[in-house]
Structure 1
């Protein structure tokens, strides 16, 4: 070996990268800074993913479909068209349907009572009076049950038969037994004068009786 080392001498050449000396990095020896310290670059994935959070997915309208919930759903109406009074008239129950429902309910109440009263008259005496009173008691209980059904499900037997339903106008919910009973009492006003309140749905925009307007109820079609 000659001294000084020649250019071909492997022991005298400067150290090359890969022989224990890391290659010099730009920025005065500091490693290159990564963008965002762990955040993905703009336009990439959700920043929450860097912390282990699930990626956020846009939910239009607070989990409602775009455009918000249809107001017709509260009343069971088909979607679309509810905001205008002229368009919702087709969803209100007609006067004929309401009369038919009332007749069916009257039969449900009246037939058991009529049978008992007829039997009581046939028997006569104290026993006959007792049977007749029992018939009236049965009729009263059936009437209360129908009011309970109308208040908690929106339908009595007659209303279910003709596919109509009574709902609270403000929010489309059931009225409840208490207010349904009050509405039943308000039908007294429908009979004054000359049963005008019962006829009012024939020309009213929302097909309401006076009792409906006082309590705030509407009767709508279910199909």
Structure 2
């Protein structure tokens, strides 16, 4: 028996709006959306690529982390902007066959839209690292021995003498 995918019809247009093209309505089906867990893994692959670039540039600049950070940030904008606007995929997304699509047209995002998405992606990543780091320090506020995460992992405590 051959099974065919059944797609829901596209949603009705908003009052005064135009209906979406049929191809976009088909893309809006939840079963077509990428898995959040696999999206995170794909993002981690892209992060590793950018961290390797950061390490190489930092070594070439003899440890100038600030310069390497600026270069890597600009390279990340170019990486995301190019890949998302030209094919809808970064290397991490290619592993799973995911693509970024413009929600209204179904096509690949414009270069500007892709760069904006990449900029916000990068900010989210930095915020996540900062939040995780902050949680490591804040842990000592409710820990009975006032240990931060790094103290717990290393088996250390901090004393007054």
Would the aligned equivalents of 1:159 and 1:165 in 2 still touch at CA under 8 Å? yes
C-alpha displacement of 1:80: 4.0
Structure 2 gaps, min length 5: 12-27, 132-161
2:29 — aligned with what?
88
CA RMSD of aligned residues (A): 3.7
**1:86-132 C-alpha deviation (Å, 9 max, x unpaired):** x9221110111110111011111111211332x36xxxxxx625697
In structure 1, distance between residues paired with 2:92 and 2:117: 17
Task: Give structure 1 stretches of 5+ with no counterpart.
Answer: 1-77, 121-126, 196-223
Tell me the residue number matched to 1:163. Answer: 97
Whichever structure has more helix as a proportion of its residues is 2
Q: 2:119, 2:52 → 1: CA distance?
A: 22
How many residues get paired? Answer: 109
1:171, CA displacement in angstroms? 2.0
**Higher relative strand content:** 1
Give the distance between the partners of 1:154 and 1:179, measured in 2 at CA: 12
**Which of 55, 78, 81 is 1:147 aligned to?**
81
1:111 aligns with 2:37: no
8 Å CA contact 1:114, 1:135 repeated in 2: no
Distance 1:90 1:153, change over 3 A: same
Partner of 1:101: 42
